[in-house]
Amino acid sequence: MKLFFRKYGNGPTIIIVHGLYGASDNWAGIAKKLSNHFEVYALDQRNHGRSPHSPEHSYNQMKNDLLDFMDDQQIQTSILLGHSMGGKTVIHFATSYPERVNGLIVIDIAPKSYLIESKVGQRSIDHKTIIEALKRIDLKKVKTRADADLQLKQDIHSEKVRQFLLKNLHRNKDLSFSWSLNLTALEHNLSDILEGIDQKRFEKGNLVTGFPVLFIRGANSPYIQDDDIPLIKKIFPVADLVTIKDAGHWLHVEQPELLVETINKFFIE
């Protein structure tokens, strides 16, 4: 699959992989700041943004989409930066193709399964509710984004979350609206998206080393708990963990300057 991408700057390569409901344009501000020191590629993953749709949406496919992208762009090795679902994509990639990685940045996601948390609805976002809410919007009645927001408000009360989700609403040439997200594929594959990495792969000393690893979490986010650190260390024994203050799950929106500063400090200074 040929992924859509945006490119910025020159220098050592960083590839940015967004999370669920995200896209490369959500990371444009971060990419531009990082481009002062790096050559930055920001991707749209399958079923998101301007990349192709597919009924299949698993981490095995997404890691291989990333491999195909690197091969197409003749990128032999790169620092990989992934947020949320994109964080799991780069974890799967790094554990399968470590020879193609010279640095790993995982933002606000752990390698564990989030299926239980999603069902409980306390420690993480209820993605099933979000997808169902987006699918309930009657796009035939949407003339402006405000119309869509009014419908979505019935199910999603957070204005910040609604604004983020509605970035995926695309205006067509005939002025009608459609989703850039493949909501059907995401709904059908949601269990796989929330699932964790197979921990059995790392039980006999099959550790991943050879490049620096940085996990970054938001201080106000529930996605990486202290009791997740042993699993992170089990896979990446040299991993560092940094917590960014006054930030939730979307650190790149809430604390962009601190996020860029943290990345630059780890890989440059």
Enzyme catalytic residues: 84, 249
**C-beta of residue 60 within 8 angstroms of C-beta of residue 25:** no
Pairing assessment for the beta strands 177-179 and 169-171 based on DSSP bridges: antiparallel
Q: Which two three-digit tokens encode residue 262?
A: 């943290």
| Residue 175 neighbours by CB under 8 Å, 6+ apart | 143
Question: From CA 264, how far away is CA 105, in angstroms rounded?
Answer: 11
Question: From CA 165, how far away is CA 181, in angstroms rounded?
Answer: 10
Residue (of 89, 78, 137) closest to 111 by Cα position = 89
Residues recorded for the chain: 269
Question: From CA 25, how far away is CA 18, in angstroms rounded?
Answer: 9
B/e letters for 127-143, b = 16+ CB within 10 Å, e = fewer, are beebbebbeebeeeebe
Question: From CA 194, how far away is CA 68, in angstroms rounded?
Answer: 24
Question: From CA 115, how far away is CA 126, in angstroms rounded?
Answer: 10
